[in-house]
Amino acid sequence: GEQQTRLGLHSKLDFRVNPRHKLSGYLALMNLRNVQVRETKTTQLTIGGYDPELGNATLGYATRSRLTRQRIYTSTLQGDHRFEALKLHWAAVYSRATNEMPDQTNIPLLGERKANVERRTTVGNSYRRWEHNTDRDLAGYLDLTYSSKLAGLPVDWSLGGLYRDKQRSNFYNNYQLRPTNLLARYGEDFNTYADIAWTVQNPLGAVATALSYDADEVIAAGYGQAKITTERFELVGGARVEATNQGYAMRFQIGEDRPTGRQHYTDLLPSLHLRLMPRANTNLRASYFRSLNRPGFFEIVPYRLVQEEYQERGNPDLKRAIADNLDLRYEVFPRPAEQFMVGVFYKRIQNPIEYTLQRDAIRGQDTYYAPGNFGTAQNYGLELDFIKYLKNWGIKANYTYTHSRITTAKSKRIRNGKGDLETITVEQTRPLYGQSAQVANLTLLYKNTETGWDAQVAANYTGERINTVSQFVDNDLWQKGFVQMDASLEKTGKNGLGFFIKANNLLDTPLEVFTKNVSPKNEGIPFQTGSGKTLIRRDFYQRSYLMGVRYKF
């Protein structure tokens, strides 16, 4: 079960000194409180006397309770100034976000199934975990635009830059608990969790962990740009230089190889955009630009965390991904709020960040889940977008096809000439992690500005995609394609007071993960379809509903 409570406050103030100078300020406070209790039951399929015919198995039960409190504060002060042919825009932004998870508790119970009768038996080892982090973001922006003419054509020359300083402080503490009576049985020695007596194994906690760390990221950037605009075409070209300084430091060092780390790099990011306007409602666009995807704070810290499925690790050697993008697009706007668009695109991505299962370099039998860079990916495809209204009713549709390929090294086990098992390295071409070949959206809309009613029903299809990259050839974990349906309804009164209702995952669509192979060892395991695939997991998230009242000043 899960309960969420959200609270938000926004305020905006504009001050016009005169027609040429304007100042504005924006403040926002957001708060989220999430209470979650999760009950799980696992069935041991390979050990513990599993026998589906007799109805016997070893079971595991667990209850996890978690409280999450998140707060975001952001403030922006900006100004716009005009001096004849020169325009100046500046902005100063301060943001602070906190995330607290106090006293996350997990209580496991052992159990058994005999003759299809299930019961809980004894208590396992438990933990109580405290986590919190604080993110601070300070940024300044400056843009100068000078208007002139070149060969009789109007040109806007722009120069600008930004300086952004992000800091994170993360704290983690974990207490390990063991039942005082290891033989205490459910229904005899205890009936509720409050009846269980615990012995704390580490009274001082476990703060000496890689999950207690400080991280920072400083970005200094500058750009130059020229924009030529006429009645029938627009040309924008320029380049941006970004210098990144990113690092981390563990608060409590316990002998790690790299308790601190830092990366410095500078990137040149050019761009060129052309827009032709053969008619007033038609655009032909062509563009090239280079973009950058930096690792996140948590990804570069060399932490180790045992989760429900895998041990997770950070990667201090994780590189940023650089993408070269080409786009061609045709747009038509028959009427206001209506459009038809068709486009093609190509992306070349160097060092894309992918999450994979990897083998420990020292203990080869250990497998962990971590981000990494594994080569260069090529993506190209087609996109269609359509919006059409008939009075108050509308339809919106979008379809994207992406052909994605990356070639990476994989492990393969073979029998060598002596008949012994040997692991060799082979190359395999596959789609990029998380990239679906087909994505489609269809939305039915109703909007009446006179009465204040606004409603929509949306269906989204996402094709199959790689969920986790395996270290072994032909053994990647795939997520099955799925359809998700959502709906919303909103009513706004003339006095600014309104209400809204949102419903998500109306079809209760599960997340299904599988491998595209089968093994005789998995025969008899429940929920397998025999279609040449092996089901790894199926998660149901249930439907969710959000209701609220909104007032606009």
Q: What is the DSSP letter of 543?
A: -
| pLDDT-based confidence at residue 126 (cuts at 50, 70, 90) | very high
- Is the per-residue pLDDT at 181 higher than 80? yes
With CA atoms as reference, report the closest residue to 219 among 250, 176, 265, 171: 265
| pLDDT-based confidence at residue 253 (cuts at 50, 70, 90) | confident
Strand partners, 356: 370, 469
Q: Give 79-131 as a 3 state SS string.
A: EEEEECCEEEEEEEEEEEEEEEEEEEEEEEEEEEEECCEEEEEEECCEEEEEE
Mean pLDDT of the chain: 92
Q: Which residue in the block uniquely carries the two structure tokens 């053994």? A: 475
Q: Write the pLDDT tens digit of every residue in 135-155.
A: 999 999 999 999 999 988 999
User: Which pair of tokens denotes residue 173?
Assistant: 């503490």
In three-state secondary structure terms, 159 is strand
* Residue 83 and residue 37 in contact, taking contact as beta carbons nearer than 8 Å: no
User: Which pair of tokens denotes residue 92?
Assistant: 């100063």
Q: Which residue in the block uniquely carries the two structure tokens 């993960």? A: 513
Q: Write the pLDDT tens digit of every residue in 88-99.
A: 999 999 999 999
| pLDDT-based confidence at residue 210 (cuts at 50, 70, 90) | confident
- Is the per-residue pLDDT at 4 higher than 90? no
For β-strands 311-313 and 304-306, DSSP reports them as: antiparallel
With CA atoms as reference, report the closest residue to 134 among 37, 215, 27, 21: 215
Mean pLDDT confidence for 101-125: 94
Any idea what the Cα angle at residue 167 is, between residues 163 and 168, rounded to 5°? Answer: 155
pLDDT at residue 546, as a whole number: 87
Torsion, Cα 308 311 315 318, to 10 degrees, reads -60
- Is the per-residue pLDDT at 270 higher than 90? yes
- Residue type present at position 428: Q
User: Which pair of tokens denotes residue 50?
Assistant: 């599993």
Q: Write the pLDDT tens digit of every residue in 58-72.
A: 999 999 999 999 999
* Chain-centroid distance, C-alpha 534: 26
Higher per-residue pLDDT: 39 or 344: 344
Q: Write the pLDDT tens digit of every residue in 398-413.
A: 999 999 999 998 988 8
pLDDT at residue 366, as a whole number: 76
Entry field: residues in the chain: 553
- Helix (H) or strand (E) run with residue 370 in it: strand 367-373
Mean pLDDT confidence for 532-545: 88
Q: Write the pLDDT tens digit of every residue in 487-537.
A: 999 998 888 899 999 999 999 999 999 999 888 877 777 788 768 888 988
In three-state secondary structure terms, 297 is helix
* Residue 50 and residue 44 in contact, taking contact as beta carbons nearer than 8 Å: yes
Strand partners, 123: 109
Q: Write the pLDDT tens digit of every residue in 155-177.
A: 999 999 999 999 999 999 999 99
Q: What is the DSSP letter of 522?
A: G
User: Which pair of tokens denotes residue 185?
Assistant: 């049985």
Percentage above 90 pLDDT, the chain: 72
Phi, psi for 269 (deg, rounded to 5): -125, 90
Mean pLDDT confidence for 215-228: 97
Strand partners, 220: 163, 243
- Is the per-residue pLDDT at 444 higher than 70? yes
pLDDT at residue 308, as a whole number: 62
Q: How far apart are CA 305 and CA 82, in angstroms?
A: 54
* Residue 129 and residue 98 in contact, taking contact as beta carbons nearer than 8 Å: no
User: Which pair of tokens denotes residue 64?
Assistant: 């996890």
pTM for the model = 0.83
Q: Write the pLDDT tens digit of every residue in 295-348.
A: 998 899 888 877 666 788 889 999 999 999 999 999 999 988 899 999 999 999
**Got the DSSP string for 228-280?**
EE-SSEEEEEEEEEEEEEEEEEESS--S-S-SEEEEEEEEEEEEEEEEEEEET
- Is the per-residue pLDDT at 430 higher than 90? yes
- Residue type present at position 274: L
